[in-house]
Structure 1
Amino acid sequence: MDLQFEAIDEDMPGPKWRRVFDRHWHAYSRWFVRDGVRSRPTYFMSLKALRKHMPELLPTYEAIVATAGDGDLEARFLSMWCPPFYVGGCSQAILTGAEPALIRNYDYSPRLLEGTWLASRFNGKRVVAVVDCLWGVLDGINEDGLAVSLSFGGRTAAGQGFGIPVVLRYVLEFASTTAEAVAMLQRIPVHMSYSIAVIDRQGKHATVYVNPDRPAEVVERRVSTNHQHGVEWARHAEITKSVEREAAVEKSLSGSADVDRVLSGFLRPPVYQTSYGRGYGTLYTAVYRPLDASVELVWPGSVWRQSCAEFQDEVRIIRFNDGDSGGFAPTFKQGAVSS
């Protein structure tokens, strides 16, 4: 199948973001109320949670909601307070040394990826991020050189908290260092388990295990896949090859690993996955470079580079072939930005 990746440069929510909203809202709204509209928190509950845990983000949230039309369901969804449970894959590696970097594979179904790459300045700070839930962050970097990404933590625990994409949005909007990011991750409640990779321009880094049922934990790990201290959800770990991917990335980091060497490992099995039909295929590889606040989205044979300083609107169409059916690498073609 073909998937559109669209790079959008828009400082504040406006017509470009509204076009993205219109494209995806039908699917998102059906997902959000899949268990019934009464199963989701009310607008006032969602607003109260944002005011309590991320008050600095409220003006941005209000601007996003207004651009979406000020509807009740839209406002509840965009708060990302207690959304439905969902799972994915992902592999992450933090590189230290002369050139600090964060490399990650995002593994998911191409049918469910939004495919928006957004450069914004919601709160005066330039942020470039791959977006989820219309304004949340799957992975991204800000102009201070702070980079973050998420990976599902491999646990079935769920609780009262935020969807992690809005938390990472908050981190990139208001943190400049790994220490500041970690402090935020330690105090904001999340509704599912995730492993968060963080690195800043000084090379300070952390992997943070966030969970809905226990305190956030900072661990001395530079690699994360889809389990935390150990495998708790055996079936998910087996299907996604979580243990095998972790071992492969750890091996690529051994010795004097540089960005190119580690990246090459992310573009090969078992780290690079092609089971798109089962929802566990690598949709993109991202390479974040804090020194110049740049990022590359990479597919085998193709690199798409942007940065906080230079970001251009563009569309690329990625074609995914299910590896379970004999296909392998996705291919892409460049396209024009739709009006």
Structure 2
Amino acid sequence: MSQYVKTFHAVEIGDGGDGRWAERVRPAMVRAEDWLTEEGQTPEGAARARRLFEEHMPELVPALDRLSGQLASPQARTLLTMAAVRPFFSGCTQIGRKGTLLRNYDFAPEHCEGTIVSSHFLRPVIGMQEVGWGLLDGMNNAGLAVSLTFGGRFVHGPGFAVPLVLRYLLETCRTVGEAMGRLRTLPIAIPQNITLVDPERTVTVHVGPDIPLIKTPDSCAANHQHLPVPDEQERTTRTQARLAAIRAAGIDAAAMLRPPLYQCAYDEWLGTVYTAQYRPAEGCATYLWPGESWEHSFIGFSSGSRTVSLGLPDESDDR
């Protein structure tokens, strides 16, 4: 197992117009074309991405224009629509129960932005930022929390990268029911599992470019959907084993910080980069690592940085 040290940042960006957001994201946007599909790098593809955004997320057009106006690169401006993004795949395990959302995000540490953002585009939102202004997970001040996992099927179609979908749900929805209604109308580019939590309801759904929204039997997800998992994929990802483990553990942050839910295969892009626990009715978010935690809320957001160690001491990861 490789050992990693990673620095996470917490930043308040308001509506994104005062320069704090741009200062944070500009360095990552220098190679925006690396994220874009070949079509998205053409003027015609950029125009189609913009039209798709305007059609499906009109409420966020003013915010998109405010942010993109601070970026010099046309590729970076197209990237913010997240409607022409190359497919990317991650691990992750998540559960929603009793008003709480708990998840592990598994990826390559150097490719995770590691920025916790407090924003107010349409309403107050706190979450883990990715690809400029998308979110890997987060909550809003109305009491809704959402998070994503990769659905495990390697298909790709026209539509949005799911981090922007999570941003859109938190900006425009107050409840799980509202968010599910929105999800049914949004084209999503690759298979994803989305867990949604409000004070009254928890749901996990499967979405993707080739399936309608499918509600799962319970509010848990790892990295597969409705189809059988090939043996080789299970050996690599242990998605079924992790799903069984999180179902058995329930809302237990300590269980998320030990195997099989905590993963250490960082060189394979399958190591746990952070654990997040959202209690949206209380407006509280806690990010956890072995021996370390960092709490934020709408009334007490803690701007700054934390450097943490990833991985478990003397842990072979049982591989």
TM-score (ref. length: structure 1) = 0.87
Measured against aligned partners, the alpha-carbon deviations of 1:230-282 in whole angstroms (never above 9, x if no partner) come to: 434553432121011111111113xxxxx4xx212111101000111111000
Contact kept? 1:321, 1:328, Cα under 8 Å: no
Q: Structure 1 pair 112/235, CA: closer, same or farther in 2 (3 Å)?
A: farther
CA distance in 1 between partners of 2:297 and 2:231 (Å): 38
Partner of 2:263: 273
Give the conservation status (yes or no) of the 8 Å contact 1:274–1:280: yes
Unaligned runs of 5+ in 1: 254-258, 330-339
Match of 1:103 in 2: 102
Residue correspondence of structure 1 range 67-78 to structure 2 within 5 A: 67-69=70-72, 71-78=73-80
Q: Give the drift of 1:314.
A: 0.8
Give the alignment of 1:32-181 within 5 angstroms. Answer: 32=36, 38=41, 42-69=45-72, 71-96=73-98, 100-123=99-122, 125-181=123-179
Contact 1:152 1:193 (C-alpha < 8 Å) held by counterparts: yes
Q: 1:42 aligns to what SS in structure 2?
A: helix
Matched, 1:299 2:289: yes
Equivalent residues of 1:155, 1:233 under 8 A apart: no
Residue type of the partner of 1:57? L
Please give the alpha-carbon distance, in whole angstroms, between the structure 1 residues aligned to 2:297 and 2:235.
36
Q: Aligned pair in 2 of structure 1 residues 38, 78: CA closer, same or farther (>3 Å)? A: closer
1:46–1:76 contact (8 Å) kept in structure 2: yes
Q: Which segment drifts farther, 302-311 or 314-323?
A: 314-323
CA distance in 1, matches of 2:44, 2:207: 22
C-alpha distance in 2, partners of 1:106/1:249? 14
Distance in 2, Cα, partners of 1:41 & 1:89:
33
SS at match of 1:187: coil
Between the aligned partners of 1:41 and 1:95, the Cα distance in structure 2 is: 44
Is 1:228 aligned to 2:225, yes or no?
A: yes
Q: Equivalents in 2 of 1:234, 1:135: separation in Å? A: 36
Amino acid at match of 1:269: P
Match of 1:207 in 2: 204
TM-score if structure 2 supplies the norm length?
A: 0.92
Alpha-carbon shift at residue 25 of structure 1 (Å): 1.7
* Contact 2:290 2:311 survives alignment (8 Å): no
| Change in CA separation of 1:90 and 1:41 when aligned onto 2, cut-off 3 Å | farther
1:12 equivalent in alignment to 2:2: no
Asked whether the equivalents of residues 40 and 78 of structure 2 are also in contact (C-alpha less than 8 Å), the reply is: no
**Which residue of 1 is the match for residue 190 of structure 2?**
192
Matched residue count: 313
Amino acid at match of 1:117: I
Cα displacement string for residues 271-329 of structure 1 (whole angstroms, at most 9, x for unaligned residues):
00011111100000000102211100011121100012221211112233598xx5689
The aligned runs of 1:239-254 (5 Å cut-off) are 239-253=236-250
Residue type of the partner of 1:51? E
Distance 1:31 1:81, change over 3 A: closer
The 8 Å contact of residues 130 and 140 in structure 1, kept in 2 or not, is answered as yes
Alpha-carbon RMSD across the aligned residues, in angstroms, is 2.1
Q: Secondary structure at the match of 1:156?
A: coil
Instruction: Supply the AA of the counterpart residue of 1:282.
Output: T
Question: Deviation per CA, 1:54-113, whole angstroms, max 9, x where unpaired?
Answer: 1111111111101223x32112111100310111000001112xxx20100000000110
Q: For the residues of structure 1 that align with 2:136 and 2:44, how far apart are their CA atoms?
A: 23
Secondary structure of the 2:184 match is helix
Distance (whole Å) between structure 1 residues aligned to residue 311 and residue 290 of structure 2: 13
Which one-letter code corresponds to 2:14 in the other structure?
Answer: D
Contact 1:127–1:140, Cα closer than 8 Å, also in 2: yes
Give, in whole Å, the separation in 1 of the partners of 2:312 and 2:87: 25
Q: Percent identity?
A: 31
Which residue identity is paired with 1:188?
A: L
Amino acid in the other structure paired with 1:169: R
Residue 31 of structure 1 and its aligned partner are, at CA, apart by 3.6
* 2:290–2:312 CA contact under 8 A, matched in 1: no
How many Å separate the matches in 2 of 1:162 and 1:36?
14
What is the letter of the counterpart of residue 33 of structure 2?
S
**1:292 partner SS:** coil
**SS at structure 2 position matched to 1:170:** helix
Task: State the distance in 1 between where 2:193 and 2:129 align.
Answer: 18
